[in-house]
Amino acid sequence: MKTLSISPHTAQVIITLEAAGFEAWCVGGCVRDSLLGREPADWDVATNARPEEILACFPNRPAVETGRRHGTIGIVTEGGLVEATTFRVDGDYAGFRRPVEVQFSQSLREDLSRRDFTVNAMAYHPDRGLQDPFGGQEDLKRRMLRCVGDPKSRFQEDALRILRCLRFAAVLGFGIQPETRRMALDCRGLIAALSGERVREELTKLLCGDWMYPVLEENALVLFAALPELEALSGCGQENPYHQYDCWEHTLHATEAVPAKPILRWAALLHDCGKPLVKTFDSQGTAHFYGHAEVGARLAGELLARLRFPRRELEAVVRLVEGHGEILPMGEKRVKRLLGALGEEDFWALLALVRGDISAQTAWVAAKRLPLVDQAEVLAEDILARGSCLAVKDLAVDGQDLMNLGYRPGPALGKSLKTLLEEVLSGELANEKPGLLARAGELLGDGARPM
C-alpha cells in the first residue's frame, strides 16, 4: 500500500470523525500534491458526516461555517485550518457555474466522480490507502490533465473548469489530454458567463505558474475568451527596429520575464493592451504606438474592474501599465520623483516591469537598455540609503512650522509645501529649514498672513 505523509492535524480530524462512526478521507489537491512530492496548499477532508454532525465531533474547536451551505465546515486546529466537506453529488447546474442545489451523499465514489480532473479525484486514508477510481495515478505519471467523465458535459456543467485546466497545466507543467483540450477550446464561449472573481482567481494562479508561457501560447484562444481585450494583440505586428515579435508574443515573453508575483504578472500581461488601438505607420512603413500606455491603462482598469480586483491591486496594476514606457537612462531627479510618487514597493515593481518588457525586445535593445535599468536600480538604492527627501513628509519644514509663523492653514499652505518639494527634488533648494521657510514666505506672500 502506498503511504503518504499527511499532516498530523488532518489525520487527527479523520480519526475523530471515524471514532464517532463516520467515514473520512483526504481528498483532492492535497492527495495529488503529496503523490507529486509537492507541499499541498491546503488539506481537505471528505466525509459522510453532515455539517451539523461534523460540528458536533469538534465541540471544543473554533469552526468556520461560511461554506456550510455547500457542506463545508472549517475546523481550526493547532496546525491550521482543515476543511471537512460532506460527500456530495452535484445537482443541476445553472449559469455554467456551480450546482443550483447541493445534494449530500453517503458514497465516496460519488463524491470523487463530481470532481474536475482525474488527478484531483483521488482519496487517501492513513489505514485504507488510496482510492483512485478514475486512473488519477496513471495520469499523474503521464503528467496529464483529463476530465473525469465526458469533457464536453463537464465543461458545460461548469465553465470554470476550463480555466482550472489551464491553471493546473501552468502550475504543474502537465499536458492536457487531447479530447479534454479540444472540448476546453470548443466550450470557451461559456467562460464569458462566469463571475469576475472566479476568473480572476484562476487566471492569477495561471499567470504565476512556471509553465504559463507554453500554456498561454498553446491556448491563447481560451484566454481571449476570458479577456477579449487582449485578442487584438495577436497578429498585431510591430514593424520597427525594437521588436522581433508581434504584440501578443512580446506580451507573453515579457510576462514570463517578470517575477511570479500577481501584480507584476498582471501588469506585464496588460502592459501593451493599448497598442492595437493606437497603431500607426509613418511614411517609411515603421510602426508607432503613440500614447499606448495611457490608452492601455484605461483599458486595463476596465478589465480589472470587471474581474472585481480589489481597488488597491487594480490601481497598482494600472499605474504600472501607465508607467511602463519610462525613458532610460533615468537621472537622479527622475528616480527621486518616481520614488516619491510611487513609494518604494511600486518603484521596484516598475523597474521589474521595464526590465521584463525590454528583455522581450530585440537582442540589441536588451543589450543596450538592460544595463540602464541596472543603473537606475543602483541609483535608487543609493538615494534610499542616503535618506533623501522624496515626499512632502520628508521636508525639513511642515505645515505646523508655517502656521507657527502666522500663515493660515488651507490649500495655499499645502500648495506651497508641494512647490518646496518640487524645488528640493530638482536641486534648486536644499532641504534645510531656514532656506525652506524663507522660500515659503516668498511663495505665500504677506497676504496669507493674518494682520
Site for ligand ATP, rule CB under 6 A: 28-29, 41-42, 44, 115-116, 120-121, 158, 160-161
Residue closer to ligand ATP, measured from CB, 194 or 264: 194
Question: Residue 170's binding partner, choosing from ligand ATP, Mg ion, none, with beta-carbon cut-off 5 to 8 A by kind?
Answer: none
Task: Provide the grid cell at 198.
Answer: 472566479
Query: Shortest approach of Mg ion to residue 172 CB, angstroms?
Result: 13
Query: Shortest approach of Mg ion to residue 119 CB, angstroms?
Result: 13
Question: Residue 125's binding partner, choosing from Mg ion, ligand ATP, none, with beta-carbon cut-off 5 to 8 A by kind?
Answer: none
Query: Shortest approach of ligand ATP to residue 30 CB, angstroms?
Result: 7
Question: Residue 423's binding partner, choosing from Mg ion, ligand ATP, none, with beta-carbon cut-off 5 to 8 A by kind?
Answer: none
Query: Shortest approach of Mg ion to residue 74 CB, angstroms?
Result: 13
> Bridge partners of 99?
93
List residues binding Mg ion (CB under 5 A): 29, 42
Residue closer to Mg ion, measured from CB, 42 or 246: 42
CA-nearest of 111, 184, 110 to 147 is: 184
Task: Provide the grid cell at 215.
Answer: 500554456
362 residue type, one letter? T
Query: Shortest approach of Mg ion to residue 32 CB, angstroms?
Result: 9
Question: Residue 160's binding partner, choosing from Mg ion, ligand ATP, none, with beta-carbon cut-off 5 to 8 A by kind?
Answer: ligand ATP
Determine the number of helices (DSSP H) and then strands (DSSP E) in the chain: 22, 15
DSSP SS3 for 129: strand
CA-nearest of 152, 189, 165 to 117 is: 165
Residue closer to ligand ATP, measured from CB, 44 or 346: 44
Residues 170 and 206: beta-carbon distance below 8 Å: yes
Residue closer to Mg ion, measured from CB, 33 or 157: 33
DSSP letters, 74-94, are EEEETTEEEEEEE-EEE--EE
217 residue type, one letter? E
Residue 112 Cα to chain centre, angstroms? 29
Looking only at the bridges linking them, the beta strands covering 102-104 and 88-90 are antiparallel
Where on the phi/psi map is residue 5: left (φ > 0), alpha (ψ -120 to 50), or beta? beta
Query: Shortest approach of ligand ATP to residue 134 CB, angstroms?
Result: 11
Residue nearest to ligand ATP (CB): 29
Residue 270's CB is within 10 A of a number of other CB atoms, namely 27
Residues 416 and 405: beta-carbon distance below 8 Å: no
DSSP 147: B
Residue closer to ligand ATP, measured from CB, 42 or 231: 42
Question: Residue 403's binding partner, choosing from ligand ATP, Mg ion, none, with beta-carbon cut-off 5 to 8 A by kind?
Answer: none
Query: Shortest approach of ligand ATP to residue 259 CB, angstroms?
Result: 20
Residue closer to ligand ATP, measured from CB, 115 or 336: 115
Question: Residue 356's binding partner, choosing from ligand ATP, Mg ion, none, with beta-carbon cut-off 5 to 8 A by kind?
Answer: none
Give dist(CA 174, CA 168) in Å, integer: 7
Task: Provide the grid cell at 41.
Answer: 496548499
Question: Residue 116's binding partner, choosing from ligand ATP, Mg ion, none, with beta-carbon cut-off 5 to 8 A by kind?
Answer: ligand ATP
Query: Shortest approach of ligand ATP to residue 163 CB, angstroms?
Result: 9
Residue closer to ligand ATP, measured from CB, 138 or 394: 138
Question: Residue 336's binding partner, choosing from Mg ion, ligand ATP, none, with beta-carbon cut-off 5 to 8 A by kind?
Answer: none
CA-nearest of 77, 3, 2, 91 to 45 is: 77
Residues 297 and 325: beta-carbon distance below 8 Å: no
- 214: Cβ–Cβ under 8 A, 6 or more apart, which residues? none
Query: Shortest approach of Mg ion to residue 308 CB, angstroms?
Result: 21
Residue closer to ligand ATP, measured from CB, 71 or 301: 71
Question: Residue 272's binding partner, choosing from Mg ion, ligand ATP, none, with beta-carbon cut-off 5 to 8 A by kind?
Answer: none
Residue closer to ligand ATP, measured from CB, 25 or 289: 25
Question: Residue 115's binding partner, choosing from Mg ion, ligand ATP, none, with beta-carbon cut-off 5 to 8 A by kind?
Answer: ligand ATP
Residue closer to Mg ion, measured from CB, 81 or 185: 81
Name the strand (E) or helix (H) holding 141. helix 136-142
Give dist(CA 301, CA 353) in Å, integer: 17
CA-nearest of 173, 125, 168, 170 to 147 is: 168
Residue nearest to Mg ion (CB): 29
Query: Shortest approach of Mg ion to residue 180 CB, angstroms?
Result: 20
